[in-house]
Amino acid sequence: MNYPDMISDNADRSVPADSARASKEFEDFVYLISHDVRNSVRALIELPQWIEEDLSEAGVRMDGPIGRNIELMNRHTGRLDRMLVDLLTFSRVGRMQDMVSADLAGVLEEVLDEVILPGGFRLVSAFDCTHVRIGERDILTLLTALISNAVKHHDGDAGKIIVSAHEEKDGVVLCVSDDGPGIPEDFRNQVMDAMTTLRPRDEVEGSGMGLAIARKIALRYGGSISLSSAGDGRGTRVKVILPLQR
């Protein structure tokens, strides 16, 4: 028996398993630290409010530097809290949920209960394919991330979002399109990285995790995600392909 060959063969086979185990351990770590750190962040969010109340009761005026500094504290702690929430969401993809045949119209209704569209925005749905087999929480997370992104990064007071789905030979194609400013082609891969935004967070509040979460969900189910222009040089079309799950 050739022991060196056998050891080499076993080592090669263990690489995917080792990689998967390392990835799971890292995601477990992200979940735990995000959950624990968020408890402290919640306290930091409340402290400036308590300070403001105490100063007001003491007769200290809240204009000038004091007011600006408290406002700055509130902004940054709120931003940190959103980042931790999105990190938790990212780490939960594919975990602790049942595979279901999700009714897309029903899922969209649930999403719109959480994502409040601004007054000038309207959403149109076109579901030629009405169901997709996927994790019951992941489909909610996917549509929430894509619709929220379409609203958040729009450059107008009014806009239109189209959510559609149809079935092709090997999978369900889910698309979310908007008529916003669009994403330059050179940046379309970059914006799907975690914590990535094209505009400063002081201009558009967000963690930069929306498309990263959407990509992770697509890949988790053996699918893909791509970005393109929605037409006329404006708008973004996010196309997610989810293979049919038997």
Strands (DSSP E) contained in the chain are 99-103, 120-127, 131-135, 158-167, 171-178, 224-231, 234-243
Last residue within a domain, chosen from 92, 121, 141: 92
Q: Are 126 and 163 in contact (CB under 8 A)?
A: yes
Q: Which range in 26-40, 44-58, 148-162, 195-209 is most confidently predicted, on average pLDDT?
A: 148-162
* E strand or H helix at 25: helix 3-57
Last residue within a domain, chosen from 44, 70, 92: 92
Looking at residue 133, its pLDDT comes to: 95
> Can you give the pTM of this predicted structure?
0.77
Q: What DSSP designation does 116 have?
A: P
Res 87 pLDDT > 90: no
Last residue within a domain, chosen from 62, 92, 122: 92
Partner residues linked to 242 by β-bridges:
172
> Are both 155 and 74 inside the same structural domain?
no
Residue 223's closest CA among 184, 165, 180, 182? 165
Pairing of strands 171-178, 234-243: antiparallel
Average pLDDT over the chain reads 83
Q: Which CATH number do you get for residue 192?
A: 3.30.565.10
Looking at residue 143, its pLDDT comes to: 98
> Are both 41 and 136 inside the same structural domain?
no
> Are both 113 and 157 inside the same structural domain?
yes
Q: Which two tokens stand for residue 92?
A: 């939960």
Q: How confident is the model at residue 188 (pLDDT cuts 50, 70, 90)?
A: confident
Partner residues linked to 171 by β-bridges:
243
At 235, give phi and psi (nearest 5°): 80, 160
- The burial of 22, by beta-carbon neighbours within 10 Å (0-12 exposed, 13-18 middle, 19 or more buried), is given as exposed
> Are both 78 and 104 inside the same structural domain?
no
Partner residues linked to 121 by β-bridges:
159
Looking at residue 246, its pLDDT comes to: 62
pLDDT in tens, 154-187: 988 999 999 999 999 879 999 999 999 988 888 8
pLDDT in tens, 95-117: 889 999 999 999 999 999 999 89
Domain that holds residue 230: 99-243
Looking at residue 22, its pLDDT comes to: 62
Q: Could you give the number of structural domains in the chain? A: 2
Looking at residue 58, its pLDDT comes to: 86
Rounded to 5, what percent of the chain is helix, strand, coil? Answer: 50, 20, 25
Q: Which residues, at least 6 apart from 149, have a Cβ–Cβ distance to it below 8 Å? A: 210, 211, 238
User: What's the rounded mean pLDDT across residues 109-134?
Assistant: 95
Residue 240: helix, strand or coil by DSSP? strand
